Amino acid sequence: MKLLIYEYFSSGAPGHSGISEDGFMMLGALLSDFSLLPGLEIVTVIRPDLWARISPKIRAENLQPCLKGGAERSFLAALEACECALIVAPETAGTLARLTKLAEDRGKAVIGSSSAGVSLAGNKAASLALLEANGLPIPKWKHLVSSAFPEDFAQPFVVKPVEGAGGEGVRVIGTREQWATWKADASHTHEDFLAQEQVPGEAASVSCLVGDSVAAPICLNRQHIGPGEQPEFLGITAPYRHKWATQTMDIAQRVCELIPGLRGFVGVDFILGPGGPLVLEVNPRLTFAYLALREVAAQNIAGELLAICLEGSVPRRPQVSGSHTCLAKRK
């Protein structure tokens, strides 16, 4: 069976250099892990300048010849040659949902969430409204349907794109002057934003394996976020031993089982505030946390993903031991 492993930025699609480097790290890990599974032929799409950086062992022994360059055109060509696909792409502008739908429309099995699940979870306003309606703990939030200053929010608060990834477009607004500067900033290209209460606490996430309405949280992860008006993701530590770890993982499980169409690897972001864990957003795809988790999991997570998505297996929580920190490579 041929499996397409497609990482959006490594394929030649335009993107922030840091996200591109992080994406390439994820691609290398996926190629390595899936190449260990029997009965698979792996195909990927990669920029010519990145080809030489792929491990020679993987490149020579475990991969079919890769298509080089050309993002979407090469994606479609590679997709036609494969029976299934694992797609890592940002939710920005509906990119992940669109690529997933292209695979579905061609009858390919997707090692991940459905396009409908991606569309719902990847839309922060829609997913937060669903979580709120079902009594899950979230910070105060508001969909910004106009450019008016949100008077009912205490400063500082956070603004973020309704569809976004990797912290792109996220700003901390502490004054009306910062609000005016943010609005006038020509560098942000998103049109749809939401405001979210900034709750003091620790940034964290829970990585889950998700099957048919059943989720198995792997562990709580510590997110390392830089300070400042434009928070920067610096890396992740897994697992993170915290007094609220079990409670946070239980909430993440409820989140993943509530949103229809989630499958495979899903990340749920939290802030561990003074009153307990609050859900910030849901990532309906493989996240950077995978790089740390693969170092501490007792079994190959790739095999679990394949079994869940192709065989309908009930997700099992992998055993983890020790701790591992993986740092993001921004520039």
- Classify residue 154 as exposed, middle or buried by CB count within 10 Å of its CB (0-12, 13-18, 19+): exposed
Sequential DSSP letters for 187-226: T-----EEEEE---SEEEEEEEEE-SS-EEEEEEEEEEE-
Question: What tens digit of pLDDT does each residue of 261-309 get?
Answer: 999 999 999 999 999 999 999 999 999 999 999 999 999 999 999 999 9
129 falls within a domain: no
Last residue of a domain, one of 56, 91, 111: 111
Domain residue limits at 147: 140-197
Q: Is 231 in the same domain as 302?
A: yes
62 falls within a domain: yes
Q: Is 222 in the same domain as 277?
A: yes
132 C-beta neighbours (distance < 10 Å), count: 14
119 falls within a domain: no
Question: What pLDDT sits at residue 251?
Answer: 98
Q: Is 256 in the same domain as 159?
A: no
Q: Which two tokens stand for residue 10?
A: 């490594």
Backbone angles phi, psi at 319, to 5 degrees: -75, 140
| Share above pLDDT 90 across residues of the chain, in percent, rounded to a whole number | 70
Q: Is 274 in the same domain as 210?
A: yes
Q: Is 221 in the same domain as 259?
A: yes
Q: Is 323 in the same domain as 204?
A: yes
- Band of residue 166 on the pLDDT scale cut at 50, 70, 90: confident
Backbone angles phi, psi at 136, to 5 degrees: -85, 150
Question: What tens digit of pLDDT does each residue of 79-116 get?
Answer: 999 999 999 999 998 999 999 999 999 999 999 999 99
Q: Is 12 in the same domain as 96?
A: yes
Q: Is 227 in the same domain as 186?
A: no
Question: What pLDDT sits at residue 186?
Answer: 42
Question: What pLDDT sits at residue 58?
Answer: 73
Chain position carrying tokens 């990669």? 46
- 309/113 Cα distance (integer angstroms): 9
Q: Is 234 in the same domain as 314?
A: yes
314 pLDDT more than 50 = yes
Last residue of a domain, one of 151, 180, 197: 197
Return the exposure string of 213-229: e unless at least 16 CB atoms fall within 10 Å of the residue's CB, then b: eebbbbbbbbbeeeeee
83 falls within a domain: yes
133 falls within a domain: no
Last residue of a domain, one of 70, 91, 111: 111
- Band of residue 15 on the pLDDT scale cut at 50, 70, 90: low
Question: What tens digit of pLDDT does each residue of 248-261 get?
Answer: 999 999 999 999 99
What value does the mean pLDDT take over residues 136-148?
Answer: 88
39 falls within a domain: yes
Q: How many domains does the chain have?
A: 3
Which of 239-247's residues contact partners 24+ apart within 8 Å by CB, and which partners? 239/296, 239/320, 239/323, 240/204, 242/202, 242/204, 242/272, 244/272, 244/276, 244/277, 245/219, 245/220, 247/276, 247/277
- 40/123 Cα distance (integer angstroms): 33
Q: Is 212 in the same domain as 323?
A: yes
Is 79 in contact with 98 (CB distance < 8 Å)? no
Q: Is 204 in the same domain as 317?
A: yes
CA-to-CA separations, 29 to 90, 289, 294, in angstroms, rounded: 18, 11, 8
327 pLDDT more than 50 = yes
Pairing of strands 41-46, 67-68: parallel
Is 262 in contact with 284 (CB distance < 8 Å)? yes
183 pLDDT more than 70 = yes
Question: What tens digit of pLDDT does each residue of 35-91 get?
Answer: 999 999 999 988 878 888 887 777 666 665 555 555 778 899 999 999 999 999 999
Question: What tens digit of pLDDT does each residue of 229-244 get?
Answer: 888 999 999 999 999 9
Q: Is 214 in the same domain as 321?
A: yes
Residues in the chain: 331
188 falls within a domain: yes
134 falls within a domain: no
pTM score of the predicted model: 0.94
